[in-house]
Chains A and B, each alone.
Chain A
Amino acid sequence: MSATAAKTKRSTRAAMGPYGQVGKIVGELDDRLGVAKGGRVFLDKIFPDHWSFMLGEISLYSFVVLLATGVFLSLFFVPSSAQSIYHGSYTPLDGQWVSDAYKSTVSISFDVRGGLLVRQMHHWAADIFTASIVVHMGRIFLTGAFRKPRELNWLIGITMLILAIFEGFIGYSLPDDLISGTGLRIGYSIAESIPFVGSYLVSFLWGGRFPGDIIIPRFYIIHVLIIPLVLIGLLSAHLGLLVRQKHTQFAGEGRTEDNVVGSPMFPTFMAKTTGFLFMVTAATALLGAFAQINPIWQFGSYNASKISYAVQPDWYMGWLDGALRIMPSWELTGLGHTVPLEVFLPAVVFPGLIFTIAMLWPALERRVTGDDELHNLLDRPRDRPKRTAAGVAMFALLFTLFAASSTDVLANFFHVSLNAVLWFFRISVFVIPVIAGLVAYQLCREMQGVHGIGKRKRAVIVERSAEGEYRTVPSPPRPDDERVEMEPEPVPVRIDIEPLSNGGTPEPVSSPTGVRQVTR
């Protein structure tokens, strides 16, 4: 091809084609970056539809809310434990010695326009973030979405959950109020309980003994830079792997291990998911507007010798608090050393064990089943009774511990002795998971035997014969029981841009054809 021809071709390409301005921009970008081919594939990316696939989206979008509201808060928050006398607009605190961190948080709540709303949205979004990660993880577990080839994404997800828990704990410790300061004191003591390294760990991290004056600036930079940066990196990897490996899907008509059936990225999924982003943001805004969370001005600035009664940490720390409460006081001493098992076991070893089991689960399951195949179709939980039972038992264990974090409140509420509540939980923590697991296993087995499960329910007519015998007959089909469903087909997109031999109207390469009758 001659240089002139090449030039002509380029200039023709650059010239406005039949797609106007959009076509021109695509052309310019494509000349430089070669985006047209890959971009098209991206626009056609198929998203299978199922409500449970939105759980991860809630996590993603609450993370977006956290970043946005967090940036706002960081413009006003002062990460310092330097003390000064409060003379702000919240008069009950007037004249008290408070830390700058506490003072600036009170100021965000009362003096910065929209500050209280954004602060409460940030706190609510953090609780939603961790909660939706846990529920999303439960969905992934119960449907076997973690199986080969997605083990790596399972690991990334659990790492993000651990980071989110730390991020949340550090975040609510920052305002330096009485309750978060007590939480920090407990965190210090837990770290201190680790054999060999505990006292070094806390001495380095806190710059000496508790409380010191360095922990708030350090936690601040961990909270606003280090963990968010790692989370963003892991999140990108999480989504990148999802695109690379494509979505899993439930079995159904036309759905196989080798395809994905659903609606396209552009415009359908994009519209739905952007709408969902707005709705998740709206939910945090409404919670932030109407549901008070962490009113630190009521608690006062942290004073290590003061404490409040019947306070609990944020929900995602509850299981650890519960474990600490019901643990017997087994301190090991001897040979000039102490191992505070009553702290180290429930608050360090136990969560370590839970997360290790979770991380190793895909490998463990593969070893037990000997299944080394690639899996893209999801399991129905009832079809894997043992796995489902294990998941339910784990959930029951964590929920029991969560409930155990309010032993004092429960004893008060039900007018029973604290001792009785304590022993109830010490026994339940072993019994309830076993019962829950067995019930789940049996339910799965029973559901497998039910005919037509998952189909639409049909009314049954009970008839009595002249002899007094009862019979059941199915009701006649309703008109909307039958509906036309289309055969899945590729997104029709390839358009013939070669000169047409007939010189007439161009025709699209594919057009929807296959239609089948299905019964709901």
Chain B
Amino acid sequence: MSDPDHQPSRTRVPMPIAALSDPHMGDAAKHPARVEKIIAVIFLLAVVFLALFGAAYWQNWSPWELGGAVGVGLFLLGFGLTAWGKYLMPQGPFVEERHLLASTTEERDAMSAALVERSAVVVKRRKMLGGLFALGAGIFGIVAAFPLIRSLGPLPGNSFEVTDWRDGTVLVDSNGRPIRKDALVVGGVMTVYPRSTVNPVTGFITDNGQAIDQTILIRLSDQPFTTMPGRESWTPDGYVAYSKLCTHLGCPVGLYEQELELLVCPCHQSMFNVRDGAVPQFGPAPRPLPQMQLGYNDQGYLIALAPYDQAVGPGFWERTT
């Protein structure tokens, strides 16, 4: 035996699988020269393309030249590296034992015992302390939830039921111009908004006006007609107006099929018959589009004679009709 103070001499030992002649290498490693050459060419090409990428960036070439250069360059780099790994590195098969992760019964019992018995002594006998601690943590949790949830936005209240349409609200187009009797020919269609939603700075319609109050105005004939019993005088001069918010998911019902007199929602193809009160004819929409009671004001502009008689847009829990 050697002297305990004697330092063992450390010599470098060749590792078996580090040699290309090792049987754990793939077949290609037995004649590495050719493989090396091919991989070297691939890497060289990668260098060329990645340098090209630099040049493309420098010269501000088009995105496809930029992307093409970096894409091909990175692909070659990756392909060469993978080939190197596959053909010139030890493939095995090597084996690794899989040791059971589970502990022995004794170790499990020791942990369970620590949990059960310690808690029996220090927690269960101090029910009041535990209760008070839980109370404090609970109150904190509830209080902390307020800034996290409640302060994010206003309570909905009845905000989903209302629009900016009132009795006497003037209809305007997307440029804020009011609409006269002869604005549309028979078969014509346009999107209208309440005059109160015109942004005084931009002259355009506000987000709210666009998202909630948007209404589609259609001239179906030159005579008043009745869409539903009880709506006898709602269509002066053949103008009819419905909320443009689909009752399915709130997309704008933006397609008008003139021949069939159908309003079509491009999102999920709900179809509403505009002559018969916009009752859904097809698709997943559950309710007719709310209809607006139209009239004229003293200056001859089209106005709403009443707010919508129900919430516009898709259904929700508090909706009453």
Give A contacts to B, CB under 8 Å.
1, 5, 8-9, 12, 17-19, 44-46, 83, 97, 113-114, 116-117, 120-121, 149, 182, 185-186, 188-190, 192-200, 202-214, 244-246, 254, 257-264, 267-272, 274-283, 285-286, 288-290, 303-311, 321, 324-331, 333, 336-340, 342-343, 376, 407-408, 418-419, 422, 485-493, 495-499, 506-508, 510-512, 515
Contact = CB atoms under 8 A, between A and B. Distances in A.
B63 A116 contact: yes
A512 B24 contact: yes
B153 A205 contact: yes
24 contacts: A46-B95, A113-B60, A116-B63, A185-B211, A185-B250, A189-B249, A199-B316, A211-B207, A212-B207, A258-B97, A268-B89, A270-B85, A271-B81, A274-B78, A278-B77, A325-B283, A329-B283, A339-B317, A487-B93, A490-B97, A492-B17, A495-B13, A506-B13, A510-B16
Contacts of B266: 307-311, 408
Interface stretch (B114-122, B123-131, B251-259, B291-299): B251-259
B7 A9 contact: yes
A338 B193 CA distance: 27
- CB-CB nearest 4 A-B residue pairs: A289-B67, A278-B78, A271-B85, A275-B82
Nearest to B12: A18
B45 to A, nearest CB: 13
Nearest to A337: B317
Contact of A418 (B74, B282, B316): B282
A404 B250 CA distance: 20
Interface of chain B: mostly helix, strand, loop or mixed: loop
B93 A306 contact: no
B255 A309 contact: yes
Given A192-B314, A244-B101, A490-B94, A497 B8 contact: yes
B169 interface: no
Given A289-B63, A510-B16, A268 B81 contact: no
A257 B97 CA distance: 10
A490 B316 contact: no
Interface of B: 2, 4-17, 22-24, 57, 60, 63-68, 70-75, 77-86, 89-98, 101, 149-150, 152-156, 159-160, 174, 191, 193, 202, 204-205, 207-208, 210-212, 214, 244, 248-252, 254-255, 266-270, 280, 282-287, 313-321
B78 A307 contact: no
Given A279-B75, A488-B92, A511-B16, A210 B320 contact: no
B314 A340 contact: yes
A499 B2 contact: yes
A192 B311 CA distance: 13
Contacts of B77: 275, 278
A497 to B, nearest CB: 6
Contact of B9 (A8, A182, A260, A499): A499
A423 B248 CA distance: 19
Contact of A254 (B6, B93, B154): B93
B81 A207 contact: no
B7 A8 contact: yes
B92 A261 contact: yes
A492 B159 contact: no
B96 A46 contact: yes
Given A286-B67, A340-B315, A407-B269, A506 B251 contact: no
A260 B96 contact: yes
B171 to A, nearest CB: 14
A203 B191 contact: no
A329 B286 contact: yes
Given A121-B67, A261-B93, A275 B85 contact: yes
Contacts of B94: 44, 46, 261-264, 488-491
